[in-house]
Amino acid sequence: MFIDRAKILVKAGDGGNGAVSFHREKYVAAGGPDGGDGGRGGDVIFVVDKHLNTLESFRYQKKFLAQNGAPGGRRRCSGRSGEDLVIRVPEGTLIREVSTGQIMADMSGPDPVVIARGGKGGAGNQHFATATRQIPRFAKPGAPGESYELQLELKLLADVGLVGFPNVGKSTLISVVSAARPKIANYHFTTLSPVLGVVSFGDGESFVMADIPGLVEGASEGVGLGHDFLRHVDRCRLILHVVDVSGSEGRDPVEDYRKICYELGNFDPELAARPQILVANKCDLATPEQLEDFRRFAEAEGLPLFTISAATTDGVRDLISHVARTLSELPPLKVYEPDFVRPEIRQPDRSFEVTVEDGIYYVDAPWLENLMSTINPDDYESLQYFQRVLRESGIIDRLDQMGIGEGDTVDIQGFQFEYIH
């Protein structure tokens, strides 16, 4: 199944907590604090895998989590950093952040891209010793890793896009000029997914051609399969507009051309302005009058016209030579520039709620759980540090506003203590 869109959640690893530890050694009376730092959390990195051509691997797996950093250890030993998570995607995958719609990366090159950065490890208590605080019994928790909901969208990287109504011979054409082998049959919608083929010419030169299936009238508004695949024309530098000049199915090639051009422009006005070459296929079935009428139409439109028979390869060589010359004069493939504004310093979520039940003030602040694991409630300096965090976050002010009194009980994530002004 050809899947070219997927929505996933990625989360980088959290940093490990700093350690609270003191040097213990025989004959050493006061070894001092020696708690190590926590390890850094792993990053989420996207790389291009040229062996992939769809986003099918994201059909069922929706969450991708990098490894957390390990906590610090004794004797100033730092925790091990979490392993990076590498996610492989097809070439041409566009990565957007869902909430803003901004582009985080266009995976059209060989370079890996860090999408979510791991959290920094927390500092161990070795860093908090001062002349007046020689026995710090607290450490800092690790910072959380970045987390994003992403929209992945595959836009094929092809120099030339074949467009046209079903059964006009696009699949036959790409099969005779490249090694691509799409399904070919005498009925509509034989091709159900875009097909890429490498067309070789000259002395080792080549370009990539894409057969874009399913374009019918109303495709840009969701009719047929065209709405799903129009995005793959987006990067093409040149459009080969294939029509059945013989009208073998009772359709008018001029009307077919105009309808497809309307759908391209309705989907994206820029596509309608993209360079086009008219390809009048099935010329072996057409009458001289039909060929002459369509030639006059192409001249009136100012479009280069090539009459070919993909089935017999008549005229195909001249078409490919002209396409190669035209591509040499066009700008390179379209690459999207990222516009996502990554916060250099992510502000931690310090939201909280305070409720009162049976005289107990319950503070719901999940972000404090990590911090409390590094606090020693039996140590005065450690409690002072904890109290400073509560005051800076606004929890103390909220308790005062709610009328808390001296000696009242406060419960923070299951840890209870008496309130003292």
Stretch 219-240: mean pLDDT, rounded? 65
Give pLDDT, residue 345: 46
The answer for residues whose C-beta is within 8 angstroms of residue 408's C-beta and 6 or more apart is 359, 360, 361, 418, 419
Total residue length of the chain: 421
Supply the angle between the helices 316-327 and 170-177 in degrees, to the nearest 10. Answer: 80
- When comparing pLDDT for 24 and 394, which is higher? 394
182-224 per-position pLDDT tens digit: 554 444 444 456 777 888 887 778 888 888 875 655 544 444 4
- Res. 181 pLDDT band, cuts 50 70 90: low
Q: Do residues 118 and 82 lie in contact, with contact meaning Cβ atoms separated by under 8 Å?
A: yes
Facing residues of 213 across strands?
A: none
pLDDT at position 261 over 50: yes
Give pLDDT, residue 349: 67
Looking from the CA of 56 toward its CB, the CA atoms found within 13 Å total 7
275-289 per-position pLDDT tens digit: 999 999 999 999 999
Nearest Cα residue to 297 out of 254, 256, 255, 260: 254
Give pLDDT, residue 352: 87
- Least confident among 169-183, 214-228, 361-375, 390-404: 214-228
- Res. 134 pLDDT band, cuts 50 70 90: confident
Rounded to a whole number, what is the largest CA-CA distance in the chain?
108
Stretch 35-41: mean pLDDT, rounded? 93
Burial of 104 per CB tally in 10 Å (0-12, 13-18, 19+)? buried
232 vs 158: CA distance, rounded Å: 8
- Res. 387 pLDDT band, cuts 50 70 90: confident
DSSP run (H or E) holding 412 = strand 409-412
- When comparing pLDDT for 151 and 369, which is higher? 151
- When comparing pLDDT for 164 and 367, which is higher? 164
Q: Do residues 91 and 113 lie in contact, with contact meaning Cβ atoms separated by under 8 Å?
A: no
Domains and CATH numbers, the chain: 1-155 (2.70.210.12), 160-327 (3.40.50.300), 353-418 (3.30.300.350)
Give pLDDT, residue 267: 79
The answer for residues whose C-beta is within 8 angstroms of residue 275's C-beta and 6 or more apart is 237, 238, 239, 326, 330
Give pLDDT, residue 337: 87
The answer for residues whose C-beta is within 8 angstroms of residue 181's C-beta and 6 or more apart is 175
Under DSSP, is residue 379 helix (H, G, I), strand (E, B) or coil? Answer: coil
- When comparing pLDDT for 28 and 33, which is higher? 33
Give pLDDT, residue 215: 63
| pLDDT, the chain, mean | 84
Give pLDDT, residue 147: 93
- Least confident among 139-143, 167-171, 185-189: 185-189
Rg (CA), the chain: 32
369 vs 8: CA distance, rounded Å: 27
Give pLDDT, residue 220: 44
The Cα angle at residue 183 between residues 182 and 188, in degrees rounded to 5 = 120
Give pLDDT, residue 38: 94
The answer for residues whose C-beta is within 8 angstroms of residue 27's C-beta and 6 or more apart is none
65-124 per-position pLDDT tens digit: 999 999 999 888 999 999 999 999 988 899 999 988 999 999 998 899 999 999 999 988
E strand residue ranges, 253-352: 276-281, 305-307
Cα–Cα distance list, 183 to 186, 193, 386 (Å): 10, 10, 68
- When comparing pLDDT for 299 and 187, which is higher? 299
The answer for residues whose C-beta is within 8 angstroms of residue 21's C-beta and 6 or more apart is 33, 34, 35, 36, 72, 73, 74, 75, 124, 125
